[in-house]
Every structure is written in structure tokens, then in C-alpha cells.
Structure 1
């Protein structure tokens, strides 16, 4: 009887993990497609990517504030970490990370605005490379030869992908530059998150709350400086319900992707999350090519395969290294 109950619990656990991973895939892919619609579709046709990103931060911050207040009214039903983004101590500690967070989401959306969804993953594939470089420079962590080889594969796949985009006549230099800078900022953000988490009691949601609130203010001078205020004032579809509904859905997606990412990491592991993200990127590339009826060369597809294989192999090498360290600790 106990054995049957154990197998039932294990089966439920596997079903739950499968559901969470599937949910992450669905929300992540929908988020990319919705953002692409907002950033560069003829239907929306608003040249204000920073305003769109700022609005998504407004929605995310609003949801966090609502959940924070509801958790105080219904503490048994709704759980949300206690914290005040306007606390001076929290502001001083978290603001530098929020600057990186603002740069990361802005650059990612700027990249997506200028490149096709099918190339979006390759355009941002250098995050792993920057992780290795900055982990050594900032955290003084060395990398194994296997991981370095994987990094060389990723760089080769990235360069081939850029070349094939150029051959196809669809290469965006600006989009590629934004993708590289987005990868750099994401890498720095991930590394410095480890340093800041102790100041928020390792509460990912509290950190997300602070980042979104601070970004709401950090984006304002950027929007003014880039001249997007004039674009918004002159936008002919400002009263169009489709525009605001799409903008609101984009904001919900922006918040949801943070939730499902944290949930997937919680029920699996950070490395499994990376592998899942790599596989999701492959599916996303195929879906985008089919949806937008894009014809790609064999070498273009090969460049995607090299990047995806290199990323998956890197995650596998890291997993084996962690298991080896764990076994070493057990035998001490």
C-alpha cells in the first residue's frame, strides 16, 4: 500500500513538473510573439520601444503592489514577501541592479524590434559567453575546458548565423548590436543578482517588485531623451482599443514570464531551466519560420543547431561539474 502511494506521489510530481515546463514554454513563446507585434507590426506601428517596455514595467509593478497589499489583508490566502521599494536602505542596495535590469529589458526589446523572431535567439546567444567572462572577472570562477569548447561552438554558430542573415538580406546591424548588448547586460544582471539577493532575504519576488518599481522611473528620462514623447503624442492610434489591449496583454505577459521562470527553477533546477529554455528557443524558431512563412538556407538552420547544441552541451557540462562537486562533499 505504501509503495503504491509512493509511486502515485512520484507520478503526480512528474505530471506537475511537465505542466510547469509546458506552461513556461507557452507563456515565453506567447510573450515573444506579443512583444514582436507591439514593437514592429504594421497594425500597431508605433516607433516607441522604450515606452512599450516602460508600460510593461508599470503593469508588473502594479500587480506586485496589488499582491503586496492583498497579502496583508488576506495573509492566509495570498503570500507575498514584505518589503518597501521606497525604503532608503533597499533603494541604495538594489538601484545599481535595477539599472542593469532596465538596460537588459530595454535592449532585449530593441533587439526584438529589429530582428525576426526566428533569429532572436541566435542574436542573443552570447549570454553564455559573457557569463563565463564575467564570472571569471567578477566572481573569480574558472571554467572547464569542456565549457570553453561549448562557448567556442556558440560563438561559431552566432557568427555563421549573422553571415547567413546577411546572405538572406535580412540582417539588421542595429538589431545584432542590441542583441549583443542585451546578452552582456543579462549576464551582468544574473551575476550581480547573486550579490543582491541576500539584502532581500533571497526573495526573488521582492527583488522583481523593486526592479519594476525603480524601472518605472528610470525609463522616463530615456523616453524623453530619445524623443519618444513626440512619437506618442503624434501617434494616430492612441485611442485605438486594439493598441491598449495589446499593450496590456504585453504587460501581463511580462509579469507572467517572471512568475513561470521562477516556478520552473523552483520545481526543477537552474540548469534544467537553461536546458528547457534552449529547447524552447528551438521550437520558437521553427514556429516563427512557419508562422511568418520564412524560407531559410541549410546553413542558416545549421547555425541555429550549432548555437542550440553548444548551449545545451554547456548546461550538461555544468550539471556534471555540480554533481561531481556534490559527490566530493559527500565523501569528505
Structure 2
């Protein structure tokens, strides 16, 4: 694989992820009362695109048949996925796009903790140190600052949503490994089950939370411009599908280090775009927080690259082994409305 092709895959991944963040933020600003509806529509779009891909891929992509036994075994990963996505959406709705990466800054420490409890294995001292760095970066970013007006400061509820989103991402990372054998070690089959199952679980809550009534009232309001909501939902649903492809391509042609550096570059671009186009407030504390979180995460990635043998480079071998690069696991399943790191 040439350097140009690798660069193309990285750019594809970064572009898709950035579109997901900012278009979702624009949609949530336009329709703050419809977070679950937005998420449901994106999941449905992902399922439809998966089905169309299977129809036109000539057997390359296969959609599994419904089996009650498989559905029962996959219930934990589907449940954790949709709960995490709901908290993810609520967090993004309540904070600036640039601050969103700080609010979810505890993904790595929580993933290390959950994985250690699951495997009953103590992480190395270097891994713990990386986790401490990231945790310190998180608290640096959420600490009160006199430079942040009270009206612009994130609420405790939004921070709680960010923490819960990070926690469920950590559970999700562990459950993916446990669930792949029930999907013939196929990430595509797991993506189908996860998105279809998540949509089915979410639908009753959209109704119970009154969002259908809210949507009806908003559509009847002549002052509401539905263009942002409709087009934003279509765009993010489509790019959520593309993120799955981008994740698979990243595993095939890049290393964990390359993937992490692309994630770091994306975080910088996310901050710049947030400040430029959304008027996000960046203080010295917040900028330092992003840098510290990225530094700790990149240090962790380097440690894992040194401690862990390289994964199989062939996509077929990855499917057969059921193994995923840890830092890319959550990109395999469609990450709507915002890709999970």
C-alpha cells in the first residue's frame, strides 16, 4: 500500500469524523428537543445502507438472518451501544463542539479500568501512568475558570452525560470482543445486529419521551426551518455509514500509531473549526486540556504498540481472528451521531 493510499484513507477517516461532529451539532442546535429522533433516523439510515450494500456487493457484504439465539447473546452489546449513543448525543447537545472531546476525555482511563476488571489483569505501570495523564487532562479542562462566563460553562448534567458516554464506550470495547464469535467473527454482521437492534430498542423511547409530538409541533410552526434537521440527519446517517468503511480501511492499511496521530490531528481541526464557525470559547485551560489528553492517549498507543505484537495486516485474517486494534474497535460499528474514539 503506497503512502498516497494511506494518506487518502486517513483523510477519508478524518473528514467523515469531522462531518459527523459538526453536522450533528448543527442539527441539535436547530432541533434541541429531538435528540432521540435524530439518533433513531441515523440508525435506520445505517441499516438501509447496509442492506443496499449487501444487495449490490455480490456477496462481499452479507446480512445475517434473524436468529433468536444470536439476538439473545448479542443483547448486551446492543444495549450498551444504544445507551452510550444516547448519552453521547445528550452530551454533544449540551456542550460546545470543541469542548465535546474534553467532556468525553475519560474514555481511555475508563476503558483501561473496565478491561482490567474483565480480564482480572493489572495493567503495566506505563499504562497506568498514561491513564493518569489523560485523567489529569480531563480535570484540567472541566475545572472552573474565571475566563469562562457562567452562561458558557458546561452544566454538570452535560459533564455527567459525557462521563456516562465514556463509561459505556469502555463497556462496549470489551463487549465487542466477546460478541464477535456470535457473528461469525464478522464486524459487518455485528454492525448490522447493533444498528438494527439499537433502532428497535430506541423506537419506544422516542414515543414515550414525546419526541414525535415535539416533531409534529415543530413542523407545524411556520418559523421553524426544517432544512437543517432533514438534511443534517441524511448527511450524518450517510457519513455514519462511511465511518464504518473508514474504520475497516484504517485497520487494513494503517497502524495504531498512524490512526492515533490522525485522531490527534482531527482533534486539533475540530477545535479550530469549532472556534471559527461555531464561536466556541477556547481558554488556556481548555487548550491545555486537549493537549494533555491527546498526549496521554498517544503515549498509551505507543506503549501498546511496543507491548503488543502487531495485529494481522490482512482484512480477512482480522475477520477470522476476531481481533481489532483497540483504538479502532468502536469505529467498526456505525458510530452515529458522533464517531466514538
Give the aligned partner of residue 81 of structure 1.
62
Q: What does residue range 291-310 of structure 1 map to in structure 2 within 5 Å?
A: 291-310=277-296
- Give CA deviations for 1:132-154 in whole Å, capped at 9, x if unaligned: 11111112232111111111111
The CA distance in 2 between the partners of 1:206 and 1:274, in whole Å, is 26
Match of 2:107 in 1: 127
Residue 215 (structure 1) shift: 1.1
Contact 2:77–2:175 under 8 Å retained in 1:
yes
Q: 1:104 to 1:272 in 2, by over 3 A?
A: farther
Per-residue CA deviations over 1:44-84 (Å, capped at 9, x if unaligned) read 2341101100100000011112222334xx34xxx103412
CA contact (8 A) 1:100 1:185 kept: yes
Does the alignment pair 1:98 with 2:78? yes
The residue number in structure 2 matching 1:7 is none
Consecutive unaligned residues of structure 1, counting only runs of 5 or more, are 1-11, 327-332
Q: Which region of structure 1 is more displaced relative to structure 2, 115-124 or 249-258? A: 249-258
Shift of 1:167: 5.1
Aligned counterparts, 1:1-332, within 5 A: 13-40=2-29, 44-71=30-57, 74-75=58-59, 79-84=60-65, 86-164=66-144, 168=148, 169=150, 170-236=153-219, 240-270=226-256, 272-323=258-309
Mapped contact 2:13–2:247 kept (Cα < 8 A): yes
CA distance in 2, matches of 1:246, 1:171: 24
- Secondary structure of the corresponding residue to residue 44 of structure 2: helix
Instruction: Quote the offset at 1:323 in angstroms.
Output: 4.7
Q: What is the CA RMSD across the aligned residues, in angstroms?
A: 2.3
Deviation string, structure 1 residues 162-208 (Cα, Å, up to 9, x no partner): 11568513222222111110001111111110011112122111111
Say whether the 8 Å CA contact 1:151–1:310 is kept in structure 2: yes
What CA distance in whole angstroms lies between the structure 2 residues aligned with 1:34 and 1:293? 15
Using the TM superposition, give the Cα deviation of residue 287 of structure 1 relative to its aligned residue in structure 2, in angstroms.
Answer: 2.2
> Is the 2:84–2:169 Cα contact (8 Å) retained in structure 1?
yes
| In 2: Cα distance, 1:94 partner to 1:163 partner | 39
Give, in angstroms, the shift of residue 295 of structure 1.
Answer: 4.3
Matched position secondary structure for 2:2: helix
Deviation at 1:19, TM superposition (A): 0.5
TM-score normalised to structure 2 length: 0.83
* Cα distance in structure 1, aligned partners of 2:295 and 2:68: 45
Query: 2:82·2:202 contact (CA, 8 Å) conserved in 1?
Result: yes
Seen in structure 2, the aligned counterparts of structure 1 residues 262 and 164 have a Cα distance that, compared at 3 Å, is farther
Q: Which has the larger radius of gyration?
A: 1
Specify the alignment match of 1:3 in structure 2.
Answer: none
- The separation in 1 between residues aligned to 2:292 and 2:227, in whole angstroms, is 43
TM-score (norm 1): 0.85
Question: Structure 2: where are the runs of 5+ without partners?
Answer: 313-341
How big is the shift at 1:270? 4.4
Which moved further from structure 2: 277-286 or 134-143?
277-286
Higher relative contact order (CA 8 A, sep 6+): 2
Tell me: CA distance 1:46–1:299, structure 2 relative to 1, closer, same or farther (3 Å): closer
- Counterparts of 1:182 and 1:271, CA distance in 2: 24
